[in-house]
Amino acid sequence: MFRKVVCGAVILVLCVGLTLADEFRAVITKVEGDKVTFTKTKFDPETKKLEKGQPTTLPVAANVKVVKAKFNPETKKFDAGDPIEGGLKNKMFTDIQEKGVPATIITDADNKKITEIRAGGFGGFKKGKGKDK
């Protein structure tokens, strides 16, 4: 009996781990209707530079949350802040400059749709950035 419970718990943990959504830093380069084109980024602490991946386009979910990113110094991650007025129709996304819009993107369990965009904030990577001088 105990063996069945342990096996069931292991399978449950594995299944839950596989169904978790993906969360990553990216630079949004284009928004067209319900499709967002972005490039994943990763900070390399040794070279102190952002490494960029290949451009990717994903559709957004019907109930996508578009919020401002707020850096949390305790977790060193960007948490969800205030909602962005107009969502993806905000000027921030309709008139994207050459550098793009830095964001944290969260996808669904299948990594097929974007469920949340936390726009802004690469300032947490560089010391002294954002401080009054």
**Sequence letter at residue 18:** L
Contact 107, 115 (CB under 8 A): yes
pLDDT in tens, 53-86: 899 999 999 999 999 999 889 988 888 999 999 9
Whether pTM > 0.85 for this model: the answer is no
What pLDDT, on a 0 to 100 scale, did the predictor assign at position 42?
87
Instruction: State whether residue 110 is helix, strand or coil.
Output: coil
- Residue from 70, 76, 64, 72 nearest 106 by CA: 64
Where would I find the beta strands (DSSP E) of 1-133? Answer: 23-32, 35-44, 49-72, 77-83, 101-107, 114-119
First to last CA, the chain: 66
Give the pLDDT score at 71: 87
